[in-house]
Amino acid sequence: MAREVMEHLAVDKGIYVDATVGGGDHSAEILRNLRQGMLIAIDRDEEAIAFVRERLKGQSCRRAGVSSLLVHGNFADLDSIANTVPEIRQGVSGILFDLGLSRHQAVTPERGFSYQSDGPLDMRADRSTQKHTARDVVRHSSEAELARIIRDYGEERFHRRISRRIALVRSRLHTTGDLAEAVRSVVPFRFQAKAVARVFQAFRIAVNDELENLRCGLRQAIGLLAEGGRIVVLAYHSLEDRIVKQTFRDFANVGRIEILTRRPLRPSPAEVAVNPSARSARLRAATTLKSRLQAQAGAA
């Protein structure tokens, strides 16, 4: 949904933040459209930062008045990141969150996110600072805790039997293939593919604390926006989208933002045909309004 993202970010002059730089496609597009200012591109994954550093080399330097900064960090720490980048304190003109996994993470077996190919049960977005892998969660959580993770983060109806199975064979679960097989072994054939996908989603969310990070990141992002600044979020499952919707509502109810997308935008069938992984994308966008106090002061 690159076109819709760029339309809603309305990149012109100012400070823009790509909170999830990934492979750098959106960042490259922001830089291309930026007339004057700075792009701050963040990712939790050091491999993404290293890749994009090479990719963007020279792209901003070629134009006077345009610069970029790559930050290895968690968007849940946006306020701390802002403290180290004085430009952010001037007010951010646009901020983008493109949630979920990058293509590189999804297709690299050693990262342990994929159930299509066998790899270690890892799933850490940030291997340099996170200690606990998916294997640790599988090994050290009680059966009840496993059931809660699979129910709450995977919305999987067979959560009880799957957690029972995982608890029973946990010492033999070393790889993503082992975990997928444990799930398949207790789920009727026609539900297996979805159940495996949901269980992997659940462990990924648990390992990376994704939902709490999103709650914190969105609130801090809105706090950093300049008046008229834009926030654009691409979510890929209903748990993420619910948080985005609720956070936007909370800020809209106190007059802090105006929601630009009454309903989330979805990719066109043509886009899904070309890029099937976009099929679950939901885009929501908002713009900041003057705070009530500022508006009253202005009116007085």
Ligand X SMILES: C[S@@+](CC[C@H](N)C(=O)[O-])C[C@H]1O[C@@H](n2cnc3c(N)ncnc32)[C@H](O)[C@@H]1O
- Is 8 a residue that touches ligand X (CB under 6 A)? no
Kindly tell me which of 167 and 197 has the beta carbon lying closer to ligand X: 197
- What is d(CA 213, CA 190) in angstroms, rounded to the nearest whole number? 34
Q: Which helix (H) or strand (E) holds 54?
A: helix 46-56
Number of chain residues interacting with ligand X (CB under 6 A)? 20
The token pair at 272 is 């899904």
* Residue 31: both structure tokens together: 């830089």
Minimum distance from CB of 79 to ligand X (Å)? 13
* Residues 102 and 240 sit within 8 Å (Cβ to Cβ): no
Q: Which of residues 184-213 bind ligand X (CB under 6 A)?
A: 213
Q: Tell me: does residue 44 bind ligand X (CB under 6 A).
A: yes
DSSP state of 46: H
Q: Give the residue, chosen from 1, 20, 230, 244, that forms a contact with ligand X under the rule CB under 6 A.
A: 20
Task: Please report, for residues 168, 222, 247, 272, the alpha-carbon distance to residue 176 in angstroms, rounded to integers and kept in the order given.
Answer: 17, 37, 34, 27
- 256 within 8 A of 288, measured Cβ to Cβ: yes
Closest approach, Cβ 42 to ligand X, in A, equals: 5
Pick out residues in 111-170 that bind ligand X (CB under 6 A).
125
Determine, following the binding rule CB under 6 A, whether residue 23 of this chain makes contact with ligand X: yes
102 versus 163: smaller Cβ distance to ligand X:
102
The piece of 73-81, 140-148, 258-266, 267-275 that touches ligand X (CB under 6 A) is 73-81
Which of 1, 14, 22, 82: binder of ligand X (CB under 6 A)? 22
Length of the chain, in residues = 300
Place of tokens 């297709």: 107
Enumerate binding residues for ligand X (CB under 6 A). Answer: 20, 22-26, 42-45, 48, 74-76, 98, 100-102, 125, 213
